[in-house]
Amino acid sequence: MLGLPEEITTCLFDLDGVLTGTAELHKQAWKQTFDEFLRARDGAGFQPFTDRDYADHVDGRPRFDGVREFLASRGITLPEGEPGDPPARETVHGVGNRKNELVLAIIDERGINPYPGSVRYLEAASAAGLKIGVVTSSANGAKVLEGADLAKFVQARIDGVVIVERKLRGKPAPDSFLAGTAALDTEPAAAAVFEDAIAGVRAGRAGAFGYVVGVNRADQAEQLRAAGADVVVDDLAELLED
């Protein structure tokens, strides 16, 4: 019914791009942030931030890890700065805070829409008695879940705030997903991970979870399989058809 092995008792969902369409909003905010930074640094001939940059260096990672990873790919190193750095400051935290400022403004302007197929899947998983957790690198997990009216399905949330507080390694390390299974009193082998990001799929495989579902929202089905997904779908509703 749910398209999962019989031994699975727990579902761990990434949020942006798996349950809600907010991944596209994050990508837009990252592009504006990095393009502004690079234009100011390199002038009119700067090399823009691309979809490939997003997939390779940012998608699925905690915000400040994404800043470090992308800038390193361009041979740029910034001082770390402090968590409270203003968005205009040229530090890792300043650039990351600029991105967060932008994405919150975009979310407030456009609202949050869950994928209908994901809502159907959450309803089915809940009705079947499976435990449900959300594991997201975003510090805005609570806001997005409430705005999309999905919090009612979720028994545990591990988000960017928790990751920082507990000093967990970000995806592709499995730490945040392992924290999700611990919060739900489940062994990793009994949990399924649902991810649209390459880094997230790698985290699911690295943590020896029982099943890893790749959600292909960005035309990267082969990359998701190569990263370790057991199955790849375009929409979670496809799993309900099995």
For the annotated catalytic residues, the residue numbers are 14, 16
* Cα 101 from Cα 87, distance rounded (Å): 8
Give the start-end residues of each E strand in the chain.
Answer: 10-13, 131-135, 156-158, 191-195, 211-215, 231-233
3-state secondary structure 81-99: CCCCCCCCCCCHHHHHHHH
What one-character DSSP code corresponds to residue 114? Answer: B
- Report the C-alpha gap between 191 and 48 in whole angstroms: 39
Closest CA to 140 of 151, 125, 131: 151
- What's the distance, Cα to Cα, between the start and end of the chain in Å? 6
- Which residue's entry shows tokens 């393009």? 35
